[in-house]
Amino acid sequence: MAPSELAVRTITPTIELPEIDERLPAMLQPVAAMRAATISTLTGEVITHGVAELGGTAEVWTATVGRLDRPGAMANAYFAGGLREILLSLNDGRGARARVVSTRFVASSERICQLRGLEPLSHAAAA
């Protein structure tokens, strides 16, 4: 085949997400997603911002938060300050209290935090 006969194709990567069963209540729908996130103390003091990879459902969820803008602040709060409960706020308006299960470095020398939801992820109530 001559080079002029070769077609150029653009390949667009896709992410496979779980199928949504619309018969399930919203709280039981899968929440698999990546969202910009803020980790704060229970009193609202911001510790760090990052990207949360969510799993589970809105009712029972977990998150791995990486790309932290202040990884040292999170490590200090966890190891030196004993911080275990935080507020996770997502850029889509949802948020909830969570337990910090662990914080550690991964192979890419990036600090991550693993969280387990203590309450359902929901949108903040209008004031």
Amino acid 118 reads L
Q: Which fold has domain 28-120?
A: Thrombin, subunit H (2.40.10)
Nearest to 81 by CA among 37, 33, 45: 45
The answer to pTM > 0.75 is: no
Amino acid 40 reads S
- Report the pLDDT value the prediction gives residue 3, as an integer from 0 to 100: 53
Checking if the pLDDT of 53 tops 70, the result is yes
From start to end of the chain, where are the E strands? Answer: 33-40, 46-56, 61-66, 85-90, 94-105, 111-117, 122-123
Checking if the pLDDT of 6 tops 60, the result is no
- Report the pLDDT value the prediction gives residue 4, as an integer from 0 to 100: 55
